[in-house]
Amino acid sequence: MLDLNSASLIFLTLSICFISLFFLFFSASSNPSNKNPCPQSYPIIGNLPGFLRNHHRFHDWVAEMLSQTPSSTLQVNSFLNLSHGICTANPINVEHLLRANFQNYIKGSRYNNVLNELLGQGIFNVDEHAWILQRKIASHEFNTKSLKHFISDVVKSEITNRLMPFLSKACNDDMVIDLQQVLQNFTFNNICNVAFGVDPAYLQNSSFVKAFDDAVEICSSRFMSPIPAVWKVKRVMNIGSEKRFKEAVKVINEYAMEIIISNENKEIGSNQDLLSRFMSASKSMEFQDQEQRRKFLRDIIISFILAGKDSTSTALTWFFWLIAGNPRCASLIRAELSSLPELELRPRTFSYDELKKLHYLHAALSESLRLFPPVPINSRLTVDKDVLPDGTYVGKGWFADYSAYAVGRMETVWGKDCREFKPERWLDADGAFQPSDQFRFPVFHCGPRMCLGKEMAYVQMKSIAAVLMHQFDIIALDGGANAEKMMNPPYSLSLLLKMRGGFPVQIKRRQQ
């Protein structure tokens, strides 16, 4: 006779065998036509063990696997086989996803489920008509000279009035500062000023800054969660991070509405900020009532703040880390700055036209973005089944990811020296910057949904890099990038490729 414990054990074992067989069969029969290699995948738990083992070096793990497949494309099975998808680093597939068959690869529920409370119906979170409408208004504004000048003026004023005084003090006091945090504060103030036209000093004192940071961090962990049911249960129960998220969104909404309502009472015709521009554009649009109009404005502005918040600061953090470890490139950037006329007489900032002349700096920033793209991996949902140009089958309702991080590290795309920081690869024989084919460099996305803030980002990055490098030596406490660290860079796993634990540096004034 079996005792109770043995009986339970046998029952449990049989159940596991049965469930495993069921999922094995289910997994094999659901996508028979896909011949793509797959990271080691187990019945029921899919790729979860590999993910957990490589969590700390996720993007390098993905890049390694992609570089070992014949066409740089993998198939991925999630936990419980609940979802299937592909991940590619093949520029021909990237072009197919983002441009050639754009209609079939949408944001859909993949984004909406995670970002809806924060972004609502904002440009970043919607498809089809809602997206077309906002894209049209926003790209019109982003192409105006007046917005370009406004952005450039805001950047200059932020540098002169906030960044430089802060860094000078850090230098005088011989302080160790977290440069990543300093740059994050700078770009957040910057984007809030461009978006709302509100003095950032006012924002510093408000709980909006903290609420936005919390909300983005929690959305990021939702995205990265291998078992989404966990955060969904927490949301229903209103506990832990999901409770904090709800509170943060409340603060953001109240703050945004306060600014929108106060702007309604002002003469907005002459204001240059994005909110004032969208307010003017929305006058010719039909809304059910004032509330709906305000919600439209709230959603579009919050999307812009999210898009511009940490992307540029993340890019600059890796740039300064790379420069700290590559003194030869630092000297070449400084030599280029010195070639500008009357450098020693100028105020502390550089004009839009001067920035355009800095080809080597532009190349160094692009090279840094290639190796450390602020949005390392991006995802879409398929409307219908499809076959990618390399023959990969993609089922209906699957996710389709491209890894910009992996594209930048493919020998087949960038050559044997792809892990080296070499700004020269972006320059022609005369030293003029040569842009890359956009699908080999999908750092700002490509196709109809390409980043609207690319130019603004380069203006910000070049202005800050030029001013800082002209005035200071930035000494990284970890010594900056070297060949060994480039094989295992210190990033954390979140939507943006932030540096793990910050970027501690000391600032020393240069002898001019």
Binding mask 239-278 for ligand HEM (x = CB under 6 A): ----------------------------------------
Binding mask 97-136 for ligand HEM (x = CB under 6 A): --------------------------xx----------x-
For residue 464, give the H/E element and its range.
helix 454-471
**Size, binding site for ligand HEM by CB under 6 A:** 22
CB atoms within 10 A of CB 13: 10
Q: Residues 439, 90: contact at Cβ < 8 Å?
A: no
Q: Residue ranges for the binding site?
A: 451
Q: Which of residues 335-364 bind ligand HEM (CB under 6 A)?
A: none
Per-residue b/e over 377-411, b at no fewer than 16 CB within 10 Å?
Answer: bbbbbbeeebebebebbbbebbbbbbbbbbbbbbe
Which residue, 200 or 453, is less far from ligand HEM as judged by CB? 453
Instruction: Measure the CA–CA gap between 4 and 1, rounded to whole angstroms.
Output: 10
Instruction: Measure the CA–CA gap between 401 and 492, rounded to whole angstroms.
Output: 19
Instruction: Measure the CA–CA gap between 320 and 468, rounded to whole angstroms.
Output: 10
Binding of ligand HEM by 365 (CB under 6 A): no
Q: Which stretch binds ligand HEM (CB under 6 A): 11-19, 66-74, 239-247, 445-453?
A: 445-453
CB of 444 to ligand HEM, least distance (A): 5
Which residue, 123 or 215, is less far from ligand HEM as judged by CB? 123
CB atoms within 10 A of CB 78: 19
Which residue, 138 or 410, is less far from ligand HEM as judged by CB? 138
Which residue, 162 or 449, is less far from ligand HEM as judged by CB? 449
Q: Applying CB under 6 A, which of residues 51, 398, 405, 444 lies at the interface with ligand HEM? A: 444
Closest CA to 259 of 188, 206, 216, 306: 206
Which residue, 457 or 505, is less far from ligand HEM as judged by CB? 457
Instruction: Tell me the H-state helices in 159-310.
Output: 164-172, 179-196, 200-205, 208-224, 228-237, 240-264, 274-282, 290-309
Residues 6+ apart with CB under 8 A from 29: none
CB of 233 to ligand HEM, least distance (A): 27
Q: Applying CB under 6 A, which of residues 219, 337, 371, 375 lies at the interface with ligand HEM? A: 375
Binding of ligand HEM by 159 (CB under 6 A): no
Residues 6+ apart with CB under 8 A from 302: 118, 119, 120, 122, 252, 256
Which residue, 170 or 307, is less far from ligand HEM as judged by CB? 307
Binding of ligand HEM by 312 (CB under 6 A): yes
Binding of ligand HEM by 231 (CB under 6 A): no
Q: Applying CB under 6 A, which of residues 87, 211, 457, 467 lies at the interface with ligand HEM? A: 457
Ramachandran angles phi, psi of 218, nearest 5°: -70, -40
Binding of ligand HEM by 456 (CB under 6 A): yes
Sheet of 377-382, strand order: 73-77, 84-88, 399-403, 377-382, 105-106
Which residue, 375 or 407, is less far from ligand HEM as judged by CB? 375
Q: Residue ranges for the binding site for heme?
A: 451
Q: Which of residues 183-212 bind ligand HEM (CB under 6 A)?
A: 191
Binding of ligand HEM by 307 (CB under 6 A): yes
- Angle, helix 145-158 to helix 179-196, in steps of 10 degrees: 140
Q: Residues 437, 370: contact at Cβ < 8 Å?
A: no
Binding of ligand HEM by 445 (CB under 6 A): yes
Which residue, 8 or 139, is less far from ligand HEM as judged by CB? 139
Binding of ligand HEM by 378 (CB under 6 A): yes
Which residue, 170 or 495, is less far from ligand HEM as judged by CB? 495
Q: Could you identify the residue written with the tokens 């490098």? A: 469
| Contact residues: ligand HEM, CB under 6 A | 123-124, 135, 191, 304, 307-308, 311-312, 315, 374-375, 378, 443-445, 449, 451-453, 456-457
